Amino acid sequence: TIVAVMNESFSDLSCFEQLQAAGYTGPAFYNSLPDTLVRGTMLASVAGGGTANSEFEFLTGATTAFVGLGKIPYQLYQMNGVNSLAKDLKELGYTATAMHPQNTVNYHRDKIYQQLGFGDFLSIGDFEGAPCYHAGVCDYATYDKILDLLRTDDAPQFIFDVTMQNHGGYDVGTVPAEELTNYWVEGASEGANSALNTYLTCINASDRDLEYFINELRNIGRPVVLVFFGDHQPSATTTLNDELYPQEDTASHAFRIYQSTYFVWANYEIAGNTELNVYDTVGANEIAAITLNKIGAPLTDYQKALLATRSDVPTINVAGYLGADGLRYDLESEDSPYASTIDKLQR
């Protein structure tokens, strides 16, 4: 079974040096997990919102860098003819279930999930009475739902869980006062620091729930692969970025907030994976191909192409791409030695 959790606004904000200086080292359990197959920074194509674009990239392998800034494919196109991870796995005998404890019509998910190959969609009505935290249903309530699916059906499953609890905004009083963190970033306004601490409190809750989920999966008695990633940084970091780096060049300014974090983990030993916790910077559109390759699953021609082009262009998002030389390039850069690779990938 493959479980993918796209955790709402989950990110390791220790990428902000000033927050590190204030004593923040990131989500504790998440960063200490010792046996991931691969983990690292995920370059997102959205910041502060636009969840649907991150899930579109993950599920289809297509980057919205080639769709256009500010455009949302879920709201522009029908997806019947679009390849997706759910369709690929269904051809291998998996069932495919999508899960999001919110209204089904948000981002047209009621139509899009079906078009992308999901057989079932568990939405807010399936979480009636579930405990909530901050902005919605707790992460661990969705994890319990996943565990129920795993324990009641032995067949191979692909489960895609889009969580809700960390959604913005991050107003005072939206998390328990006794859990509120108390970091102070020098150079940021009182309002930015307040929103930041509310957000970090949410991440602590998500981190606890993730620890619970991993421990349950370790003992569930069947092989499970877990893909975990944050869809984007919170809206609070857009303000923080502007306040801390007001004179910064556009590319550097964007790259700081157009990033999140991810890992791929398995509760069993996978042949050939002798090195654990391999660090790799990826785009959201590359995670599925990397996961399938890691676990020895069949790859489509397009997934093979994604992996092959990474020798020239390791990762791409709407803000640009990283070349094999370690430099950042604009999507339209004519001086880039990788312009032909970008052109082929786009075609």
Q: Is 90 helix (H, G, I), strand (E, B) or coil?
A: helix
Q: Nearest-CA neighbor of 152 among 97, 103, 88, 104?
A: 97
* Upstream peptide bond of 230 is cis (omega within 30 degrees of 0): no
Q: How far is CA 160 from the centre of its chain?
A: 11
Token readout for 262 is: 């991810």
Q: Is the pTM of this model over 0.85?
A: yes
CATH topology of domain 2-346: Alkaline Phosphatase, subunit A (3.40.720)
What are the boundaries of each domain within the chain?
2-346
Residue 44 contacts residue 233 (beta carbons within 8 Å): yes
* Cα–Cα distance for residue pair 293/223, rounded to 1 Å: 16
Residue 55: predicted pLDDT? 98
* Helices and strands, counts by H and E, the chain: 13, 14
| 222-273 pLDDT tens trace | 999 999 999 999 999 999 999 999 999 888 888 899 999 999 999 999 998 8
Range list of H helices, 36-138 = 51-60, 73-76, 85-91, 109-115
**pLDDT in the model for residue 195:** 97
Q: What average pLDDT does range 180-206 have in this prediction?
A: 97
pLDDT in tens, 113-143: 999 999 999 999 999 999 999 999 999 999 9
The pLDDT mean for the chain works out to 96
Task: Yes or no: say if 239 and 194 are a contact pair by the CB < 8 Å rule.
Answer: no
Q: What is the pLDDT of residue 146?
A: 98
The torsion angles phi and psi of 176, rounded to 5 degrees, stand at -60, 130
Share of the chain above pLDDT 70, in %: 100
Phi, psi of 103, deg, nearest 5 = -60, 135
pLDDT in tens, 54-112: 999 999 999 999 998 889 999 999 999 999 999 999 999 999 999 999 999 999 999 99
Residues 6+ apart with CB under 8 A from 129: none
